[in-house]
Amino acid sequence: MEVDEIDERTLELMYNEILDQWKGSFRTYQTIRERIGQIIAFIGIILNLELLGILQIFSSKITVDYMEVLILSSLFIIISLLMAAFAYRTAPFQNLTSTLCLDEKFISKSRNELLKIICEKRIEDIKLNKEIIHQRATWAHVSLYNLVIGILLVAIFIILNLPSDNTLKISSVLLVIVITLVFYVMEHSNFSKILKTKK
């Protein structure tokens, strides 16, 4: 009797530990999903402003040097948006199916046997979810690279088209570059931590 009780207690502890790991991976998954949503919104704003600027330049027939730099930056920002969309649309988080325990072949099993089965299924879910989280973080990471390159190209385009004596515009462009780099470094460190945990 005592051995059964100890086994059951051990299984309960294992189940609780596995469930805690599953909940932790779910929180990571949700955090990445929220971050990717924020990145998509940010990219959308940048892309809209840039495309409006390009349309304005073409419609007003202003002569602008280095237009190819601006178009190249749009390409990087569009690629960034696509990568973020792929990250957002990666496979859904895996959860133990509620019908598993209602299956007839499991109803007749003892509590210990059921706990073992549930633990095994949860461990499978955790492994799958690590893969999904890693995929999302990788896509988001690549999206950030492209976004930063796109924004830096926009800043370079603006600097190249400024009169050389206009220090206010140059300083504001440099401020945008600094803010972009700070944003990138923060997000890069977050995604890097997630990418390292998979190994």
Give per-residue pLDDT as tens, 144-162.
889 888 888 888 787 777 7
Residue 99 has pLDDT above 70, yes or no: no
The count of C-alpha atoms lying within 13 angstroms of the C-alpha of 164, restricted to the half-sphere facing its C-beta, is 0
Q: What six digits make up the tokens of 31?
A: 């955090």
Residue 138 has pLDDT above 70, yes or no: yes
Burial of 57 (0-12, 13-18, 19+ CB in 10 A): middle
Most confident of 55-59, 72-76, 118-122: 72-76
At CA 38, angle to CA 37 and CA 42, rounded to 5?
120
> How many Cβ atoms are within 10 Å of 109's Cβ, its own excluded?
14
Cα–Cα distance, 67 to 174 (Å, whole number): 20
Res. 101 pLDDT band, cuts 50 70 90: low
Is 54 within 8 Å of 71 (Cβ atoms)? yes
Mean pLDDT of the chain: 79
Q: What six digits make up the tokens of 193?
A: 């931590």
Amino acid of residue 66: Y
Its pTM stands at 0.72
Dmax (CA) for the chain in angstroms is 89
pLDDT at residue 78, as a whole number? 92
Place of tokens 């990471």: 141
